[in-house]
Amino acid sequence: MLDTWYLDATWISVAFIGGLLARKINLPPLVGFLTAGFALNFAGFNAGGEALEAVSNLGVMLLLFTIGLKLNIKSLLAPEIWLATSIQMTLMSLFFGLVIFGLSFSGLYLLANIEFSTALIIGFALSFSSTVFAIKILEDRGEVNSFHGKVTIGILVMQDIAAVLYLTITGQGELSLWLLALPFYLFIVRFILLKLINSIDHGELFTLFGFFAAFVAGAMSFKLFGLKADLGALIIGAILAPHERAKELARHMMGYKDFFLVAFFLQIGLSGFPTGIDLIIALILVLLLNLKGAFFMVLFTRFNLRARSSWLTSLSLTNYSEFGLIVVSISAAEGLISEQWMTILALALSFSFLINSPLNTRAHQIFNKYRPYIALLNKNCVHPDDELMDLGNTEYLICGMGRIGRVVYEHLHKLHADKVMGIDYDMELVEKLQAGNKNVFWGDATDSTFWENAKRSKIKMVFIAMSDHKSNVNVAKEISSLPERKFVAGVTSKFKDETAELIKAGADFVYNYYDRLGEDFADRFVKTKDNLTIGISNKDDEA
């Protein structure tokens, strides 16, 4: 057996090369990680599977914890989330079950004489969408806090709850009588965690607090209650979400989460090497993804979401899930289905990631190209995600009301008062700013429909200050494609390569605040020097 150091060096190297090559051809790195997993499997380097599985489990739990830090539990009560999930999982389980049962008459030996109850279990497994994949895609596009991003996350959380119920029904959850004490535990642990987060500084102890909250207070405790560890990490994150330091904590955990998730995607490729029959069935399942995505589209538009929001949400969810693998593995352990279905679903899962990664990367471009056809699904009604179309007397528009956007708004408001407006696609943030009498409205600046339909004749300047670089690039592209625009667009960036990409996207002005920070500091300090008193003199006088 190879030394652990060689195994670690091997999978890290292969994963890095795979991710780098994927990025070179404009694909998300996770496609390269998946491919790397299959390459390692083919080469026989699967002896480190247990270690990789442990690391991948850490990645999934951290992912759900960081999502919990951004989650509003009340949003799950919206009909387009809880009711849509219930309808989708029920009908998709029946649909996939009927297809699998129908294929049992095709002559494929693996499907021969399959019972309808067994086919329904497989259908249930296929009805899930991947939490890891969907959220990673949203993060890469900078849309976790967008309207469609929150709908996507809500659907995934409800599916997680369905997975917990399945584990309980099959006896795998091992529910304890202590479960009755869970509400009291959550009340007490919330009190303790909020006390701790208020007393810790910004250093390494704050990061360690994040691990403690996710793995000890969340994952391990829920495991003791007989619930899914992943669900515990999510719930504890949601408990901390209202705290003012939740976003800071999420930033601390992001780097660790991204590294651990590399092992998750590698682990999928290492899950088993398929036979020819496995490959045929997996390809059939991949073809059925089109119907799964189409059903999501129709379902969301029937719940009054606009076609664009429905498109972006559906595309994120059109895949198979790691939870499907859990359902199949449990069912195989109970003797309900063949263990070979684990390999088939792992292969179908991988194919769904490989196919949908580039589609999700180009989601906005694809929508713009086929918008007349996709928009036919719009209902003639008031949509919960309708955007402001009359900008009134606004001359200065700020896109993105995060930390930078709010500073820009306050500065311009002092100079131009009601001629300044801010827009953001985080509804909770918008409601909070509106409560503070800010002229801020909900709107998605990455939406081509917004720029084409909004009455913007009086706009002179647009300040693009969204917190994510990809979102800023998308906004710059939409603005640069407008015919006969009469305003200029400026955008912020952190790095030189981002600056070059924004200029290429069509931005008229790019402010690299890392480059300008020292210059601005020196300039302001020199200007205010004469108005400052020397601190040491004050201390001497007091002495």
Between 146 and 46, the higher pLDDT residue: 146
Least-confidence region, from 171-180, 262-271, 367-376: 171-180
Give the total residue count for the chain: 543
Please name the residues in contact with 459: beta carbons below 8 A apart, sequence gap of 6 or more: 391, 394, 395, 396, 397, 486, 487
Q: Which residue do the tokens 């404009």 mark?
A: 26
Q: Could you please report the per-residue DSSP string of 410-449? A: HHHHHHHGGGEEEEES-HHHHHHHHHTT--EEE--TT-HH
- Predicted pLDDT at 462: 93
Nearest Cα neighbor of 166 from 338, 321, 378, 391 is: 321
- Predicted pLDDT at 368: 86
Rounded to whole angstroms, the Cα distance separating 473 from 322 reads: 31
- Predicted pLDDT at 18: 85
Least-confidence region, from 314-323, 401-410, 522-531: 522-531
Q: Does the pLDDT of residue 536 top 50, yes or no?
A: no
pLDDT band at 279; cut points 50, 70, 90: confident
Nearest Cα neighbor of 135 from 115, 159, 111, 118 is: 159
Handedness of CA 474, 150, 463, 28 (dihedral sign): negative
Rounded to whole angstroms, the Cα distance separating 317 from 504 reads: 31
Nearest Cα neighbor of 478 from 500, 498, 454, 494 is: 454
pLDDT band at 457; cut points 50, 70, 90: confident
Q: Which long-range contacts (CB under 8 A, 24 or more apart) does 507-515 make?
A: 507/464, 507/476, 507/480, 513/404
Q: Does the pLDDT of residue 121 top 60, yes or no?
A: yes
Q: Does the pLDDT of residue 499 top 70, yes or no?
A: yes
Ramachandran assignment for 26, one of left (phi > 0), alpha (psi -120 to 50 degrees), beta (any other): left
Average pLDDT over residues 256-275: 73
Q: Does the pLDDT of residue 2 top 60, yes or no?
A: no
Let me know if 43 is exposed, middle or buried by CB neighbors in 10 A (0-12, 13-18, 19+).
Answer: exposed
Q: Does the pLDDT of residue 172 top 70, yes or no?
A: no
- Predicted pLDDT at 271: 62
- Predicted pLDDT at 248: 85
Coil, helix or strand at residue 493: strand
Q: What is the pLDDT of residues 201-222, one digit of tens each?
A: 888 888 899 999 998 999 888 8
In the sheet that holds 440-442, the strands lie side by side as 440-442, 420-424, 396-399, 461-464, 488-493, 509-512
Rounded to whole angstroms, the Cα distance separating 175 from 172 reads: 8
- Predicted pLDDT at 188: 93
Inter-residue contact 356 to 128 (CB < 8 Å): no
Instruction: Please report, for residues 18, 342, 357, the alpha-carbon distance to residue 38 in angstroms, rounded to integers and kept in the order given.
Output: 11, 15, 17
Average pLDDT value over all residues in the chain:
83
Inter-residue contact 170 to 330 (CB < 8 Å): yes
Say how many C-beta atoms besides its own lie within 10 A of residue 115's C-beta.
Answer: 12
Percent of the chain whose pLDDT exceeds 90: 25
CA angle, residues 220, 258, 149, in degrees to nearest 5:
90
Least-confidence region, from 127-131, 226-230, 365-369, 418-422: 226-230
Q: Does the pLDDT of residue 105 top 50, yes or no?
A: yes
- Predicted pLDDT at 410: 93
Let me know if 490 is exposed, middle or buried by CB neighbors in 10 A (0-12, 13-18, 19+).
Answer: middle
Between 11 and 438, the higher pLDDT residue: 438
Least-confidence region, from 7-11, 278-282, 298-302: 7-11
pLDDT band at 439; cut points 50, 70, 90: very high
Q: Which domains does the chain have, with CATH numbers?
A: 4-179+260-377 (1.20.1530.20), 396-530 (3.40.50.720)
Least-confidence region, from 225-239, 373-387, 517-531: 517-531
- Predicted pLDDT at 298: 94
Average pLDDT over residues 442-462: 86
- Predicted pLDDT at 273: 61
Rounded to whole angstroms, the Cα distance separating 458 from 369 reads: 28
Average pLDDT over residues 259-278: 73
- Predicted pLDDT at 46: 62
Average pLDDT over residues 245-252: 85
Q: Where are the beta strands (DSSP E) in 418-530?
A: 420-424, 440-442, 461-464, 488-493, 509-512
Beta bridge partners, 464, equal 399, 491
Percent of the chain whose pLDDT exceeds 70: 89
Nearest Cα neighbor of 381 from 498, 446, 303 is: 303
Between 15 and 295, the higher pLDDT residue: 295
For the ranges 70-74, 269-273, 380-384, 481-485, the maximum mean pLDDT occurs at 481-485
Average pLDDT over residues 83-97: 94
Between 113 and 469, the higher pLDDT residue: 469
Distance of CA 464 to the CA centre of its chain: 22
Q: What is the pLDDT of residues 132-165, one digit of tens each?
A: 788 888 887 878 778 888 899 889 888 877 876 7
Q: What is the pLDDT of residues 183-201, one digit of tens each?
A: 899 999 999 999 999 888 8
Instruction: Please report, for residues 419, 420, 436, the alpha-carbon distance to residue 416 in angstroms, rounded to integers and kept in the order given.
Output: 6, 7, 18
For the ranges 49-58, 98-107, 161-170, 266-275, the maximum mean pLDDT occurs at 98-107
Rounded to whole angstroms, the Cα distance separating 281 from 103 reads: 9
Q: Which residue do the tokens 């913007």 mark?
A: 456
